[in-house]
Structure 1
Amino acid sequence: MTLIAHMTDLHLRPRGLPCYRVSDTNMLAERAIKSLQNLTPKPDALVITGDITDRNDPREYALARSILSRVDMPVYLVPGNHDGTDVMRRELGSFPGLSGSLEDKICYTADIGDIRLIALDTHIPGDPRGRLGQAQLDWLDSRLRESAKTTLIALHHPPALSGIRHMDDIGLVDADALAEVVSPHRHVARFLCGHLHRPIIASFAGKVMTLAPSTGHQVVLDLTEDGPAMFNFEPAAYFLHYHSPKTGVVSHMAYVEAYPGPYHFFADEGVVWPGDET
């Protein structure tokens, strides 16, 4: 079996500075990593789908190096709209794959147990929207044709719409082109995305898209036409993608915070469950 943890949208800030004045994203990211480290069984890898930093600031990348260097598993990163391809490649170049295969995009493959990961770069300098670009789409097409291994595709901007209007307006602009490349390939099992700061599952190009919540603050769930862009502190969580030959890919959401329990399922003394009368 293979177990892959998927976190996103850390939005790290220079030490001592909150995000958006009130979100202590540094502390919240530390807490998420501690939760990950305490898991049993331990995941085989951690994938973080962008917005590792909040301002593409070298001080934020230095904090990312400090936090993520404590993770005792391979860590795979892709840039988000708050990051920058060039700065991320320079500041986090020691992480696997970040040297990249294209001059202006960080994209790479990695074999994690019986899973293949394909990491893509949707960053557009100075623009909150995402774009893969034709060169990266051609590269992706070649990678999908060279192996039929069960594949997860990691990218920051989700290719499917969510119904949260202000976030869909800053989505992936070449999603249709991505669908054309990916739809023929049955071995693509998941898209792993971020950007929306909410747990969302949708279908795209005949595949399953799993969009993880942020390790920090969450976007308010507002499906009205003109809902404002606001955030709150709903419970932080991340996905665990479990794969075995028998199950295929199964995605579980794990909460960062510890809750009461666990408790055994014992009935009160003398209580008889329906069907157990005999």
Structure 2
Amino acid sequence: MLIAQISDPHVRPEGVLYKGVAPSNRMLEAAIARLHGLDPRPDLVLLTGDLTEEGLPAEYAAAAAILARLEIPLLLQPGNHDEREAFRATFAAAHPYLPPAGPLHYAIGDRGPVRVVALDVTLPGLHHGDVDDAAADWLADTLAADPGRPTIVMMHQPPVEVGVPYLDLYRCHGADRMAAVVARHPNVERVVCGHVHRVFQLRWAGTLLVTAPSTVTQIALALRPDAEPASYLDPPAFLLHHWRPEAGLITHYCPIDAAPGPFPFA
């Protein structure tokens, strides 16, 4: 099973650049074209939050029009830049797995051998996330319902510090609470996140936690405690999670933009 993960497209109203520098809508379209060009195509696409920049109606209209062109089944969740109720209203009809009220938690087990559990850790009006008692209980019950199935847990803000000061301010709180749940379930193959506009991986709670790059700008790897926020127009990319029974889940980094090649050597 092939599962692509795209993240943080930050769609703007048509004709508006992201932060005044990046054509985020066109860049999301380019990501979709790249997914369509993969051979074999992914069986499923995960979008791990920040679909829009400001949660505006015009942004959701633009995002819905772009995502309607995706020919691969899609699971999506909000990020801290999204507005939960506008997100729900925009996508409820096309994505009936989204719950009609409350946090947008859900579990999908009918798209292939890997089960996907989406945990909505966003807090309306705030940029950090939180796994509170209710979210931890929901996750525990959901994982316990299918304990032998290989599972991906998807969320927006990672529940760990990454060492970049201006990112760590907006991490997901409640990490110990969530880790205690995940550690009881060795069938959790990955915890996949967005939010940080970078790729990193970490052994966490008995599994592997990975973050996806953005389809727009990438946030600077600035490790000094006094570092100022910065981003770059680095090549956008996505992750491709490949499940094979004999190997488990392997995660690949896939640039979106075309590069020279192929050349007849390996």
Give TM class, smaller chain: over 0.9
Say if 1:152 and 1:191, in contact at 8 Å, map to a contact too: yes
State the alpha-carbon separation in 2 of the partners of residues 166 and 253 from structure 1. 24
State the alpha-carbon separation in 2 of the partners of residues 110 and 139 from structure 1. 14
Displacement of 1:154: 0.5
Displacement of 1:97: 4.9
Displacement of 1:94: 2.4
State the alpha-carbon separation in 2 of the partners of residues 242 and 227 from structure 1. 36
State the alpha-carbon separation in 2 of the partners of residues 91 and 114 from structure 1. 29
5+ residue gaps, structure 2, are none
Displacement of 1:99: 3.0
Secondary structure at 1:35 match in 2: helix
1:39 alignment counterpart: 38
1:193-208 matches, within 5 Å, as: 193-208=193-208
Say if 2:131 and 2:177, in contact at 8 Å, map to a contact too: no
1:119-130 matches, within 5 Å, as: 119-130=118-129
State the alpha-carbon separation in 2 of the partners of residues 8 and 142 from structure 1. 27
Secondary structure at 1:137 match in 2: helix
1:258 to 2:262 alignment: no
Residues 210-251 of structure 1: CA deviation (Å, up to 9, x unaligned)? 100000001011111111111111111100000011110000
1:70 alignment counterpart: 69
2:19 alignment counterpart: 20
Say if 1:117 and 1:153, in contact at 8 Å, map to a contact too: yes
Say if 2:106 and 2:118, in contact at 8 Å, map to a contact too: yes
5+ residue gaps, structure 1, are 267-278
Say if 1:201 and 1:211, in contact at 8 Å, map to a contact too: yes
AA at the equivalent of 2:170: I
Displacement of 1:131: 1.4
Secondary structure at 2:128 match in 1: strand
State the alpha-carbon separation in 2 of the partners of residues 177 and 85 from structure 1. 23
**TM-score, scaled relative to structure 2:** 0.96
Displacement of 1:175: 1.2
State the alpha-carbon separation in 2 of the partners of residues 99 and 4 from structure 1. 19
Secondary structure at 1:251 match in 2: strand
Displacement of 1:98: 4.8
1:108 to 2:106 alignment: yes
Residues 38-80 of structure 1: CA deviation (Å, up to 9, x unaligned)? 1110100100000000000111111111111111111101110
* Count of paired positions: 264
1:1-278 matches, within 5 Å, as: 2-100=1-99, 103-111=101-109, 112-147=111-146, 148-265=148-265
Secondary structure at 1:142 match in 2: helix
Displacement of 1:162: 0.9
Structure 1 or 2, whichever has the larger Rg, is 1
Secondary structure at 1:250 match in 2: strand
Displacement of 1:84: 1.9
Residues 238-274 of structure 1: CA deviation (Å, up to 9, x unaligned)? 00000011110000011101101111129xxxxxxxx
Fraction of identical pairs, as percent: 35
